[in-house]
Structure 1
Amino acid sequence: MENRVVITGMGIWSCLGKTLDEVRDALYAGKSGIVFSRERKDAGFRSALCAAVGQPDLKPFVSRNLRQFMPEEAQYAYMATRAALEHARLEQDYIDRHEVGVIYGNDSVAEATMRALDKFREFKDTAACGSGAIFQSMNSTVTMNLACLFHLRGINLTASAACASGSHAVGLAYLLVRNGMQDCVVCGGAQEANLYGVASFDGIQSFSVREDEPEKASRPFDRDRDGLVPGGGAATVVVEGYEHALKRGAPILCEIVGWGFSGNGDHISTPNVAGPARSLELCLQHAGVTPSQIGYINAHATSTRIGDSREAQAIAQVFGDYKVPVTSTKSQTGHEMWMAGASELIYSTLMMKNGFIAGNINFEHPDEDTACLNIIPQTREAHFDMFLSNSFGFGGTNSTLIVKNI
């Protein structure tokens, strides 16, 4: 028998806020987290735009000898996870007595790797890298740190799938819990927000250069979009079996009812329509719901011309004449990359629980491809009980989740 799978806790460290209430209010107000970075411009970036992500202070919570193992994104993930566990009423005593797993999305540790190797080259001595360097620079740094700090003894796995990483992490957790292989999994996604992690993106002219209007630079689906804006942070959700959550008296927020995934099997950076459409179709099929039951779509749309167009065509192909409300919260946050699949799940849940759809800010004019969608440009009071969230990444990796209100 398959288990129902629910979300019992959420935590976030975002350019929109560091608490769920702050993020909810920012979404409702249409606040942008995008700023101009003088540091990036002086460093030689073509685009100096980025999301403003604050640095956490872990000193009250994590000892110095353990902090040396934690790069920037692991620090974000720690704060998000700490909040999610508290939200789920998952206390350390309970964790110590049960198998709680961790699956987290992450696909780069650029700054930590660079700094360690710079020291090696400067001093011509590998010892100069430092004792924490190996643990900071591994792609699995987030899960290894979270598992050790919170004593998580279930599955310990990093989902590394470009900008679909966070979504795949939640999907894998859903699969394990549904099939009875884990009762509870801490999952999410993290993205380093430093300039080194995205320098190569800037080098291939992926970013918007609307530097005179930072808050208007990220404009998914809009005719005048000229590139994405990089963001970062971390988002954590606690996923449990429904009966398990009831037994321990956990607050049940919503239910994950479907996960779909696909590969484009095509170009490494240019998406097609067939791959994303297949992800959507499979998710609806696995969830056992029809398109008309979906009340809102949180689109992957990053504010790039080709990516937004192909996703719009995929949604239109699958949803047909039903004009489901669509927005991309990346209009406010920029592209949170490895974190995005998890953070956008939280953003959408906050909307669903509070009766509104955050507007796709900066959407002023559709183009010939995006005009087929019902894009909501300003915050709208709206009741919906089921949403779909898309996440797509380089290499043609696609992930789609459907979540239902409880």
Structure 2
Amino acid sequence: MERRVVITGMGIYSCIGTSLEEVKQSLYEGKSGIVYDQERKEFGFQSALTGMVPKPDLKNLLNRRQRISIGEETEYAYMATIEALQNAKIDDAFFDEHEVGILYGNDSVSKAIIEATDIIREKKDTALIGSGAIFKSMNSTVTMNLSTIFRLRGVNMTISAACASGSHSVGLGFHLIKSGLQDIIICGGAQEINKYAMASFDGLGVFSPNEANPAKASRPFDSSRDGLVPSGGGATLILESYESAIKRGAPIVAEVIGYGFSSNGGHISTPNVEGPATAMRRALAQAGIQPNEVGYINAHATSTPLGDANEARAIYEVFGESNPHVSSTKSMTGHECWMAGASELIYSTLMMQHGFIAPNINFEQSDEASEKLNIASKTVNKNFDIYLSNSFGFGGTNSAVVVRKLKE
């Protein structure tokens, strides 16, 4: 018998807030977290815009041995995980008595690799890199460090799937718990925001050049959109079997009921319509619901001309006249890349909990594709029971997750 999967804790460290309460308020107010970064301009960036998050102070939280092994993305993930565990009522002693797993999305460790390489180039001696460098520079840095810090004994893997990484981590965690292989899994996504991580992306010329007005630069679905804005941080969701949550008296935030995936099978960076549509249909089918039961769609829409248009076509193809509200929280946060699929589940769950739909800010004029959608250009006070969140990535990887309020 397949088990139900619920969310019992969430934690967020993003450019629109470093706590659930702060983020909820930013979402409701349509507050942008995008800034102009002079350091990027001096480094040679075409666009110096970015989402910015504060550097965590971990001195009172982790010992020196732990701190030297973790890089920027893991710092964000750790801060988000602390909040998520606290909200799930999981304390430190819990890990010694229960098997807990971790599946986290991450697809780059640029800063750690470059810093280590710079030392070798200058000193001509690899011994001077330091003992923690290897643990910072592997793509699985988040899961290897967090599993050690929290003494996790369950599944332990990093999901690397470009900008769908965080979403796929939740989808795979959902399946492992649903099938009875695990009871509790820490899922999420993290993204470094340093200049090294985003330089090659900037080189593609896909970032918005609107440096004069950072808060207006990310314009998903708007006809005048001219590129995305990079961002990052950390987002953690505690997934748990319904039985486990009830047994330990855990707070149940929401229930994950569907996960759909697909691959476009085409161009490495140009998205299509059918791949995303397939992922959405699969998610709905697994959830056992009809399109008209979905009250809100958190779109992947990054503010690129072709990507947004094709997603709009895919959403209309699947949902048609049922016309649920749609918004892209990337209008406020920018594109949080490997983190986005997890953070946007948190953003959407906060909306569902508190009865509102966050605005797709900067949406002033629709184009031929977006005019068919019910895009929330301003905050909508609305109760809804089910939402779908889309995440797509380079290589044509697609993920769609369906979440609902708990039904007893």
Superposition TM-score tier, normalisation by shorter sequence: over 0.9
Number of the residue aligned with 2:135: 135
Cα shift readout 1:167-186 (whole Å, capped 9, x = no counterpart): 00000100000000000000
Q: What's the % identity of the aligned pairs?
A: 61
RMSD: 0.6
Alignment: residue pair count: 406
Which residue does the alignment assign to 2:254? 254
Tell me which residue corresponds to 2:186: 186
Structure 1: how far apart are the matches of 2:403 and 2:318? 18
> Whole-Å Cα distance in 2 between the matches of residues 147 and 131 of structure 1?
18
Which residue number corresponds to residue 167 of structure 1? 167
Partner of 2:146: 146
Amino acid at match of 2:366: P
1:157 is aligned to 157
Deviations 1:251-290 (A, max 9, x none): 0010000000000000000001110010001111111000
In the other structure, the counterpart of 1:303 is 303
Provide the TM-score with structure 1 as the length reference: 0.99
Paired letter, 2:345: L
Q: Summarize deviations over 1:298-319 as a string: whole Å, max 9, x none.
A: 0000000010011000000011
* Alignment match, 1:357: 357
The answer on 1:39 being equivalent to 2:19 is no
Look up the match of 2:52.
52
Q: How far apart, in 2, do the equivalents of 1:18 and 1:125 lie?
A: 39
CA shift for structure 1 position 297: 0.1
Q: For 1:158, what is the secondary structure of its paired residue?
A: strand
Corresponding residue number in structure 1 for 2:211: 211
Cα separation, 2, equivalents of 1:212 and 1:312? 28
Matches within 5 A, 1:94-105: 94-105=94-105
Report the counterpart of residue 26 of structure 1 in structure 2: 26
Q: Distance in 2 between matches of 1:119 and 1:94?
A: 40
1:293-372 equivalence runs, <5 A: 293-372=293-372
User: Displacement of 1:91 after TM fit?
Assistant: 1.2
Q: Does 1:199 align with 2:199?
A: yes
Q: Secondary structure at the match of 1:108?
A: coil
Task: Classify the secondary structure of the residue corresponding to 2:158.
Answer: strand
Question: Counterparts of 1:285-300 in structure 2 under 5 Å?
Answer: 285-300=285-300
- The answer on 1:245 being equivalent to 2:245 is yes
**Structure-1 separation of matches of 2:128 and 2:337:** 31
How big is the shift at 1:220? 0.3
d(CA) in 1 for partners of 2:118 and 2:289?
A: 52
Residue 84 of structure 2 aligns with which residue?
84
Secondary structure of 1:114 counterpart:
helix
- For 1:12, the aligned partner's letter is I
Gaps of 5+ in 2: none
CA shift, 1:237, in A, is 0.4
TM-score (norm 2): 0.99
Secondary structure of residue in 1 paired with 2:322: coil
Q: Using the TM superposition, give the Cα deviation of residue 128 of structure 1 relative to its aligned residue in structure 2, in angstroms.
A: 2.1
SS for the counterpart of 2:89 is coil
- Structure 1 regions of 5+ residues with no counterpart? none
- Secondary structure, aligned partner of 1:309: helix
For 1:277 and 1:61, how far apart are their aligned partners in 2? 43
Moved over 6 A (4+): none
Deviation, structure 1 residue 206: 1.0
1:66 offset after TM fit, Å?
A: 1.2
Q: Which amino acid aligns with 2:150?
A: F
